[in-house]
Amino acid sequence: MDLSAFPYLQGNYAPVSEERDFGENELSVEGEVPRGLRGAFMRDGANVAYQPNYYVYPLDGDGMVHAVYFKDGHVEYKNRWVETAHLKTERKFGRMIYGSVGKILPVPQEVIDAGGEPNPVRNTANTNVLYHGGKLLAMWEGGFPHLLNNDLSTVGLYDYDGALQPGDALTAHPKVCPDTGQLISCTQRWDSPNYWVQIFDANAKHLRTIPVTFERKGIIHDLQITDNYVIIFYAPAFHSLEKAMKGEDPFMWEPELGTKIIVIPRDGQGEQRVFETDPFFSWHFCNGFERGSAGGREIVIDYVWINSIPFAQAQGSGVEKQPRRMHRMTLNLASGNVTDEEFSDVFCEFSRVDERRMGKDYRYGFAASSNREWGDAHGYNCTGRYDFETGETKLWEFGAEANAGEPVYVANPDSEREEDGWVMCFVFNPGEGAFLSILSAGDIDSGPVAKVHIPARVPNGFHANWMQGLTL
């Protein structure tokens, strides 16, 4: 298959090959970096090392982490490949060897004989980078995370001291409870349709496993927590490993089944509730919380709604064109009723919140947003702020042709107010190049308080996080 013109390998989706280090003298800072910042902004993404013959965006592509470090008003930048076994093997042979989650290729015997990675399913480590319990992890849905050093060098696969067993696939999108420091995550397996909620304490020690039984393996990326529950969306979107092995389209959308909302007690005790609604898909939650008295207890969930499976059916040749909008859903725990309303008509993705409000009532959500037509190689040119108190959506546009990444809320260490923090994201603007944008959470209308210009291209990527206190 000729992928020379594939949209997700062109423009700012095109990979970069070089690892770079830029000190403060090589970075241009426009505005003023908030001096209270001490830590690192990091983002992972799919970055192809060798030209593939099949490609499913965003699931394929080798992981590369980009980081900007902050300390006492000073900044540094670095990017590094995540040195997975699959990437090391392809480097040894100087060519693409492994296929795609949409078309799994057998590993040549010569590769196995030479000691190369025998597993045909590539662990890309390309989806998220997380700092929890003193561990910096590059994460991918289909396998173990990779442990990194603070300077982004790769240590190797990490199994949480044996808590993960061979075949376990840890989600790339866990949540951290602001009260306990617990990491609420999940595992799935290629050989099972089931789902297991995994809870780790603030020191990354495994606390408990909560099993959830499904008849078929669904595509589940994110989960949401509240004070007492874990919530997942089980959409009628399925992946078939058998079809992928045959080179057939492995992604299925069966809307007649509807979407189920699963409410799971965080303590592992009590009944798991199932709510049913019309079919929709969602990659990402914004936040959720509980409200009301015991007799009228509700769960409120803010999330990015998508009308169908988020993949083109002709894998390797098509692109995603489904609308994505912020929605608010309410689950009545007493009556079992579900209400779901569009909160904003703005195209958006990668929704985030002040992590100190995770699972609690809050005011502001943030998302990569767009005020332009959804083209063949779509992207987001704005950071959006969604005010759940007033119902207002505000956008800061970085330029008509810009690409803006996932916005991450960074708390002001001197204030508990959401308005006093900052919102960071990587941006690429053809007229300016790559930069890290720092917006005021309370005043996005005024534009970035600072831009850290990077003298190298930072491709579009996936999930980012602020690593409080992590420095070089």
Range of the domain at 408: 127-468
Say yes or no to pLDDT of 57 above 90: no
Say yes or no to pLDDT of 3 above 90: no
**Residue 120 has which token pair?**
């045909």
Contact 100, 54 (CB under 8 A): yes
Contact 124, 46 (CB under 8 A): yes
* pLDDT tens-digit series, residues 307-322: 998 765 444 445 567 7
Q: Which helix (H) or strand (E) holds 353?
A: strand 347-353
DSSP state, residue 272: P
Distance of alpha carbon 123 from the chain centroid? 16
* pLDDT tens-digit series, residues 115-153: 999 999 999 999 999 999 999 999 999 999 999 999 999
Q: Is residue 52 part of a domain?
A: no
Q: Which residues pair with 393 in a beta bridge?
A: 386
Least confident of 5-14, 22-31, 42-51, 300-309: 5-14
| CA–CA distance, 12 with 16 (Å, rounded to integer) | 9
Q: With pLDDT > 90 as the criterion, what percentage of the chain qualifies? A: 84
| CA–CA distance, 446 with 462 (Å, rounded to integer) | 26
Q: Side by side, which strands form the sheet with 229-234?
A: 224-225, 229-234, 259-265, 273-277
Q: How many domains would you assign to the chain?
A: 1
| CA–CA distance, 215 with 256 (Å, rounded to integer) | 16
| CA–CA distance, 140 with 168 (Å, rounded to integer) | 11
pLDDT at 260: 98
Q: Is residue 366 part of a domain?
A: yes
**Residue 423 has which token pair?**
């919102």
> Do strands 273-277 and 154-157 pair parallel, antiparallel, or not at all (unpaired)?
unpaired
pLDDT at 103: 86
**Residue 391 has which token pair?**
């119902």
Say yes or no to pLDDT of 161 above 60: yes
**Residue 397 has which token pair?**
């546009």
pLDDT at 250: 84
**Residue 226 has which token pair?**
């509240």
pLDDT at 345: 95
Q: Which residues pair with 454 in a beta bridge?
A: 434
Contact 353, 366 (CB under 8 A): yes
Nearest of 314, 307, 295, 300 to residue 347 by alpha carbon: 307
Confidence of residue 377 (pLDDT cuts 50, 70, 90): low
pLDDT at 317: 47
SS3 percent helix, strand, coil of the chain, rounded to 5, is 10, 40, 50
Give ∠ CA 286-291-295 in degrees, rounded to 5. Answer: 140
Least confident of 216-220, 315-319, 352-356, 465-469: 315-319
What lies within 8 Å, CB to CB, of 17 at 6+ separation is: 49
4 burial (CB, 10 Å; 0-12 / 13-18 / 19+) is exposed
Q: State the pTM of this model.
A: 0.97
Contact 302, 357 (CB under 8 A): no
Sign of the alpha-carbon torsion through 296, 391, 357, 140: positive
Q: How many CB atoms lie within 10 A of CB 357?
A: 18
How many Å from the N-terminal Cα to the C-terminal Cα in the chain?
A: 43
**212-236 burial, b if ≥16 CB within 10 A, otherwise e?**
beeeebbbbbbbbbbeebbbbbbbb
Q: Is residue 136 part of a domain?
A: yes
Domain harbouring 240, CATH code: 2.120.10
**Residue 318 has which token pair?**
């098509």
| CA–CA distance, 33 with 93 (Å, rounded to integer) | 44
